[in-house]
Amino acid sequence: MNEPTLFPADFLWGAATSAYQIEGSPLADGAGASIWHEFSHTPGRTRDGDTGDVACDHYRRYREDVALLGDLGLNAYRFSVSWGRVLPEGRGRINPAGLGFYERLVDAVLERGIQPMVTLYHWDLPAALDRLGGWLNPDSADWFADYAQRLFRTLGDRVKLWVTLNEPWVVVDGGYLHGVLAPGQRNPFAAPLAAHNLLRAHGSAVQAYRAEGRHQIGLVVNLEPKYPAAETAEDLNATMRADAYWNRQYLDPVFLGGYPPELSDIFGEAWPAFPDADFDLIRQPLDFIGVNYYSRQVVRHDPADWPLAAARVRQPRQTHTGLEWEVYPRGLTDILEWVAGRYGPLPLYVTENGAAFYDPPQTEGEIDDPLRRRYLRDHLCAVLEARRKGVDLRGYFAWSLLDNFEWAYGYSQRFGLVHVDYATQRRTPKASARFYAEVIQSRGAALKWDHSA
């Protein structure tokens, strides 16, 4: 009996990675250091002092990794370009060896019939630009657009899906407000400026693409639906603040031309008045939105929480990942519907989704990861449900292809479909990878057969 396929033939089945998390060799062949290179080499900044110096050694093993993509049957691969490999000082002089690496990577991906989705900025700002103020410098929008334009000119004939920024919320919240990610600032006056300049940079890059690009460009945001802990006015208001800060802060300016009003209350005197003209730049028409989804937040009013006064309420009955993130597949359907309703109609992609779990030791070359497998199955069912409800969702990218450098958590958290032995660099697909391959091959029918977890 033929099982009905549940996804269309042109659905993109992918996995995602980012440059600093997998490449290693951060200064090879004339590359300029990034803020993540400097941050991870600063004592006390990452767990166990881990750095991206070697990571998955993808810079030298990319062919092997592209072969893995093909073996899993993926038809799409999302990766990022390291700005400092291409422009060691962040602007001006180009480094042909760095650019050449991405040309070879794109060609290898295409040779396998896999569609590349290229992210221009996944957090590794050139350190030389940070010394000029980084995202606090209003010129950062022009620096970014120039860098983007050089990539469009070099790879634009082969790359049809471009992403300007990955998760600007994390860049600002971790890098400028709480100081736990590079460049490590903890300054409520800096955060809104960095956010605004990131959005101006996004808009400038989209303008540059429209001048010469012929395909599609979008923005990737990490979203987390917010649900009140109780139906009290205090919790409902706290939920609105959390939603404004996390979910609307970046999408409202891009699609609606202004910031959510809650932000000026949250930041108080640190919230600046932004020129109206900036929103004309920020509000460029986009071809798609990428949604990174990991968890939800149940919100309680809590004056001790800074700056939102909105705390997360742990749900003790639910499964949590290694990072203590609640597993809540239904939130993916909810957030996709919300995005489509508020900002659509527009094609959407799930550009990241995955979980860090402790993986049991390898037995006879097998790595069984039932929790990740179940996570994948349940979130793919949530994707199907969103499609059934009419969301124009065109692809799904698992985070991540490989176990990799999880920023301030170093190598302590494994998100990969493929296990990496960091001592030998041996790659071993986990059971979740094999399951994903079955789902892809059956265009979703395997989701129905699976009763394993």
Nearest CB to ligand IFM, comparing residues 349 and 415: 415
By C-alpha distance, which of 178, 188, 198, 311 is closest to 250? Answer: 198
Within 10 angstroms of residue 284's Cβ, the number of other Cβ atoms is 18
51 lines the binding site for ligand IFM (CB under 6 A): no
Paired sense of beta strands 297-301 and 76-80, if any: unpaired
Is the Cβ–Cβ distance between 361 and 308 less than 8 Å? no
Candidates 185, 249, 292, 297; binder of ligand IFM (CB under 6 A) is 292
Least spacing, CB of residue 334 vs ligand IFM, in Å: 19
> Is the preceding peptide bond at 126 cis, omega within 30 degrees of 0?
no
Among the options 23, 224, 352, 406, which is catalytic? Answer: 352
| One of 39, 396, 399, 436 touching ligand IFM (CB under 6 A) | 399
Q: Identify which of residues 334 and 352 has a Cβ nearer to ligand IFM in the complex.
A: 352
Residue with tokens 């730049």: 281
| Chosen residue from 6, 18, 351, 359 binding ligand IFM by CB under 6 A | 18
Q: Which two tokens stand for residue 182?
A: 């590079």
The pair phi, psi for residue 444, each rounded to 5°, is 105, -20
Tokens of 162: 């471009």
Smallest gap from Cβ 399 to ligand IFM, in A, equals: 5
User: Closer CB to ligand IFM, residue 7 or residue 399?
Assistant: 399
Q: Give the total of residues touching ligand IFM (CB under 6 A).
A: 8
Judged by beta carbon, residue 166 or residue 185, the one nearer ligand IFM is 166
Query: Which one is catalytic: 167, 262, 326, 406?
Result: 167
At its nearest, how many Å lie between ligand IFM and the CB of residue 85? 17
- Minimum CB separation from ligand IFM for residue 358, in Å? 16
Instruction: In angstroms, give the least distance from the CB of 415 to ligand IFM.
Output: 6
Phi, psi of 278 (to 5 degrees): -60, -35
According to the binding rule CB under 6 A, does residue 224 interact with ligand IFM? no
- Is-catalytic flag, 23? no
Q: Does 167 participate in binding ligand IFM (rule CB under 6 A)?
A: yes
Contact 161, 243 (CB under 8 A): no
Contact flag: residue 406 with ligand IFM (CB under 6 A)? yes
Is 352 a known active-site residue?
yes
Burial 244-267 (b: 16+ CB within 10 A, else e): bbbbbbbbbbbbeeebbebbeebb
In angstroms, give the least distance from the CB of 292 to ligand IFM: 5
3-state secondary structure string, 265-324?
HHHHHHCCCCCHHHHHHHCCCCCEEEEEECCCEEEEECCCCCCCCEEECCCCCCCECCCC
- Residue 23 touches ligand IFM, criterion: CB under 6 A: no
Query: Which residues are catalytically annotated?
Result: 167, 352
Which residues of this chain interact with ligand IFM, rule CB under 6 A?
A: 18, 21, 167, 292, 352, 399, 406, 415
